[in-house]
Structure 1
């Protein structure tokens, strides 16, 4: 396996027809790290992956593996493995032959091809399916074949482009655990593209949130979950309540807010002053029914197992999303409250 200490993207840019799909992406990936590129459709995450893979030439910038420049090399000379959203398996070849295909193309000795193929099949737990054709496998099994085919080449970097989006919810969870297990047991360096924040949080060591081709924030799952850099990242990280408000007063580390028919206290993310227009971000689980809060009318109640998801509305018609353990009925009047440390205030 060719290894490296770090892979560096320096000001990577890609234009399509005069429009930037990716602008000034700079990122250093350390050996053994799991990086997730996260964002909505059209944010540039797959473009970034394809630039890394060599499937798209750069408009500007450079890619380096330690001291060697990579972006001038064709895809086959970069030594990366790739797992696509569509499994892209050969339908007429067995599981074993699909996995060993790349090794045979490299004209490796027959014994080594057999040994590495056996190890890869065992790694993805497909021993009893090795002779089957892809059409005889479930979606999750096909995806495991695609992953085995990528890792059997012992690549220095594995690139995964939304590999779980074609699977149902239960299989997605299982495959998520499988990918994390493989990453940890093989020490693979992985770049993973997804639009699913829960998936990214559970898998990645660091997340790169993109929007319109630009980096919005890079950080650990904990950093992005607890301290999103701005309202866009907050929206993507599950802060469903994003309320336009005004700063009434600043008291040390907390600010008093007014607007949207609410009065709240929150914690600023960046400098704010009295009179400033701001956005208050609150996760549904941090907005709770309780005394001495804001009166709201319950509109929709959804049962979600341990908790109930509630959509309610203030007297001024502002929608609020919250969680509760006791079921109210649509039309009920309740009061809701939030801990100031859990209300983030974005300039």
Structure 2
């Protein structure tokens, strides 16, 4: 069942004096893949549980094509749910686990069998369909959980960090599988994760949360390249958040100075006062480069990452600098790094 629009209207959820969601406004279009992204405690799982009906709202409302649903119990909403811990029935085979929701809806046996056959085929578990969860790997168990959600042909599939218990290679494999199923079945998916790489790879739109508030909503490209504030920037991979003093501003350009007096030019992203921060991704520094923005630092820690090294260095004023480079460096090396002006974002 497809819908046109799911809307969260000033949704609020509090636990006593602690506000977990604060006036969340969000519209999800039918067929979209939306990722709720943010650090632990930002409210993303709370938002998902409110959508599922597992938590009542403290304020606001949720509507599906204009019809209010936040007062409906979970089973009346008909959404599919994929949990972090799979939540499979250990005494049931793969087929019976997948069929469970259909049996609860009292569908005809032939229809249940047809749908389960299709779901098993989609998640590529034909050879394992008569096994029990304890006989399956983590990735196979997650496939069963996904099949159990999609077999209901739900208007919305909710996924709560479904890949966090898998090892790195399985996560990549299942990530591709989830995107393939979303596209081939025309699903509408809301996906909770704290992994920005996962969110960028999967989602049509990202919703970045912090302390229960929406910080930014946009396409992966928009949020990655144009974070609206320092918190979004830090979460989207701008590991270098350098305290600076603002020297001058000219349109979108700002000139700043670091604590040891080094001049930097960058792109102004907010209204600035006299103090600001310059945000730079580690991979945007060029070791040994010469240009408008050059910093000198001493290498302290080097991590080998195959073709690249992850380097932690320190500026003269003590500020840590994170750099990714193909150059071979060692602790104690003094390096100069250059960063293009358009790769330096200046926030208040």
TM class, shorter-length: over 0.9
Distance 1:290 1:254, change over 3 A: farther
Aligned equivalent of 2:295: 294
> In the aligned structure 2, how far is the partner of 1:243 from the partner of 1:142?
44
Q: Does 2:31 correspond to 1:65?
A: no
How many residues end up aligned between the 2 structures? 344
Give 1:314 deviation, angstroms: 1.1
> In the aligned structure 2, how far is the partner of 1:58 from the partner of 1:252?
43
Q: 1:78-132, CA deviations, whole angstroms, 9 ceiling, x for partnerless residues?
A: 0100000011101011101110111111111111111100000000000000011
Aligned to 1:185, the other structure's residue is in SS state helix
> In the aligned structure 2, how far is the partner of 1:324 from the partner of 1:248?
30
Aligned equivalent of 1:317: 318
> In the aligned structure 2, how far is the partner of 1:197 from the partner of 1:346?
21
**TM superposition score normalised by structure 1:** 0.97
**TM superposition score normalised by structure 2:** 0.97
Aligned equivalent of 1:229: 228
**Aligned pairs for 1:198-347 within 5 A:** 198-261=197-260, 262-272=262-272, 276-292=274-290, 293-347=294-348
> In the aligned structure 1, how far is the partner of 2:315 from the partner of 2:2?
57
Q: 1:49-85, CA deviations, whole angstroms, 9 ceiling, x for partnerless residues?
A: 1110011111100000012110111110001000000
Structure 1 regions of 5+ residues with no counterpart? none
Q: 1:149-174, CA deviations, whole angstroms, 9 ceiling, x for partnerless residues?
A: 00000000000011111111111111
> In the aligned structure 2, how far is the partner of 1:14 from the partner of 1:277?
35
Q: 1:17-67, CA deviations, whole angstroms, 9 ceiling, x for partnerless residues?
A: 122111101100000001111111111111101110011111100000012
Distance 1:277 1:145, change over 3 A: same
Do 2:38 and 2:208's aligned partners in 1 also have CA atoms closer than 8 Å? yes
Structure 2 regions of 5+ residues with no counterpart? none
> In the aligned structure 2, how far is the partner of 1:251 from the partner of 1:45?
38
Q: Which runs of 4+ in 1 moved over 6 A?
A: none
> In the aligned structure 1, how far is the partner of 2:237 from the partner of 2:119?
36
Aligned to 1:26, the other structure's residue is in SS state strand
Give 1:250 deviation, angstroms: 2.2
Aligned equivalent of 2:179: 180
Give 1:343 deviation, angstroms: 0.4
Q: 1:233-279, CA deviations, whole angstroms, 9 ceiling, x for partnerless residues?
A: 00100000001111112244322110232321100102336xx2111
**Aligned pairs for 1:13-52 within 5 A:** 13-52=12-51
